[in-house]
Amino acid sequence: MNLSTEEKDIEISQPPTDTVSELAFSPQADYLAASSWDNNVRIWEIQSNGVSTGKAMYSHEGPALCCAWSTDGTKLASGGVDKAGRLFDLASGKSTQVAAHDAAIRCVKFVEAPGSASPILVTGSWDKTIKYWDLRSQAPIGSVTLPERCYAMDVLHPLLVVGTSDKKVVVFDLNNPTTIFKTMQSSLKHQTRSLSCFRTKDGFAISSIEGRIGIQYFQDTEPKKSFSFKAHREKENFFPINSTSFHPGYGSLLTAGSDGSMITWDKDARTRIKSFPSVNTPITSTCFNKTGNILAYSVGYDWSKGLQSSTQNDKKTIFLHSVKEPEVKTKAAN
């Protein structure tokens, strides 16, 4: 996207009719997917000038909670409250059920499987399991019991990291995917909301409902290398941090929360890079495209303040932001 600094972020065409649960850019092209609480999953093509064109939509039988692209960008997976994992094929335009759990599927990711010609899908559920699926088979090829319900998940081969509802973090080595490699305790005191792996594959960022971020390393070789800090807070008020995303080029961390604001951080220098103006509506999900020059973010009520704070006037949409280098560049990249 090449927009001048005076221009506002661009609203996507034909946005979902209810709050977005997860955004995902294709790793191969500027195709943006969104799962939402209106039971649907949508795909748009994003042009270089920010113009978006709706390409596809398919449905779950309940709110769709997550979505993820295959590595080659030809397929999109999603999970929902209907306990089903679904696969959409971009070429045929058809969706099929490829996974099932005993409770809602909260997270889906594609993982690399050495020696397999077919992509492997991993699904994380509120039934306290993750399951691995070879998309050519109806039965899971592996299942692992978690300490608690799956709330967040990220993958960066060979690492798979799962955050559960009791503030546990479960780490898997995908070379041995059905055995838990390590179980850790979140450095944060309250419920996990989001989790993202470092590009260096030696740790992860984790966020909570209390407006804090934890920077955690798998191996603390130096004293106090892991740390946590306050992020989305205003005096005595704190806001859930709904989304964490690492920039694909500079590795800076983007956080977004119920306060309607986004902030980029240099985790290594432990400094704030940029605070974006608040959109005055909770931001529920964020993602960068493959080159990092487009940032997509969704706004909508996130239920953090309960039913009484929800109104029919809550804006529910997706915006596209043209990323400027000073907004994301870390000190190490200077």
Question: Is 244 domain-assigned?
Answer: no
**pLDDT, tens only, 37-67:** 999 999 999 998 889 999 999 999 999 999 9
3-state secondary structure the chain: CCCCCCCCCEECCCCCCCCEEEEEECCCCCEEEEEECCCEEEEEEECCCCCEEEEEEEECCCCEEEEEECCCCCEEEEEECCCEEEEEECCCCEEEEEEECCCCEEEEEEECCCCCCCCEEEEEECCCEEEEEECCCCCCCEEEECCCCEEEEEEECCEEEEEECCCEEEEEECCCCCCEEEEEECCCCCCEEEEEECCCCCEEEEEECCCEEEEEECCCCCCCCCEEEECCEECCEECCEEEEEECCCCCCEEEEECCCCEEEEECCCCEEEEECCCCCCCEEEEEECCCCCEEEEEECCCCCCCHHHCCCCCCCEEEEEECCHHHHCCHHHC
Q: Beta-carbon neighbour count of residue 51 at 10 Å? A: 14
Residue with tokens 């915006």: 319
Residue 117 lies in a domain: yes
Q: What is the mean pLDDT of residues 311-330?
A: 88
Q: What is the pLDDT of residues 252-280, one digit of tens each?
A: 999 999 999 999 999 999 999 999 999 98
Residue 187 falls within a domain, yes or no?
no
- In this structure, is residue 28 part of a structural domain? yes
d(Cα 45, Cα 292) in Å, to the nearest integer?
A: 16
- In the predicted model, what is the mean pLDDT of residues 164-188? 93
Kindly state whether residue 322 falls inside one of the protein's structural domains: no
Per-residue model confidence as pLDDT tens digits over 190-246: 889 999 999 999 999 999 888 899 999 998 766 568 888 888 877 778 788 999 999
pLDDT of residue 6: 42
**pLDDT classification of 305: cutoffs 50, 70, 90:** low
Q: Which residue has the higher pLDDT, 224 or 299?
A: 299
> How confident is the model over 271-295, as a mean pLDDT?
95
Amino acid at 176: N
Can you tell me the mean pLDDT for 127-153? 95
The pLDDT value given to residue 225: 85
Domain of residue 102: give its range: 10-145
Q: pLDDT averaged over the chain?
A: 90
Domain assignment present for 43: yes
Domain count, the chain: 1
Return the closest-CA partner of residue 199 out of 288, 121, 315.
288
Please report, for the domain that includes residue 39, its CATH number.
2.130.10.10
Residue 50 β-bridge partners: none
Residue 180: what pLDDT?
Answer: 96
Whose tokens are 């006037």? That residue is 313
pLDDT band of residue 311 (cuts 50, 70, 90) is low
Instruction: Note whether residue 17 is domain-resident.
Output: yes
Residues 77-87: what's their mean pLDDT? Answer: 98
Residue 226 lies in a domain: no
Confidence category of residue 5, pLDDT binned at 50, 70, 90: very low
Q: Quick check: 231 and 264 in contact, CB under 8 A? A: no
Residue 139, beta-bridge partner list: none
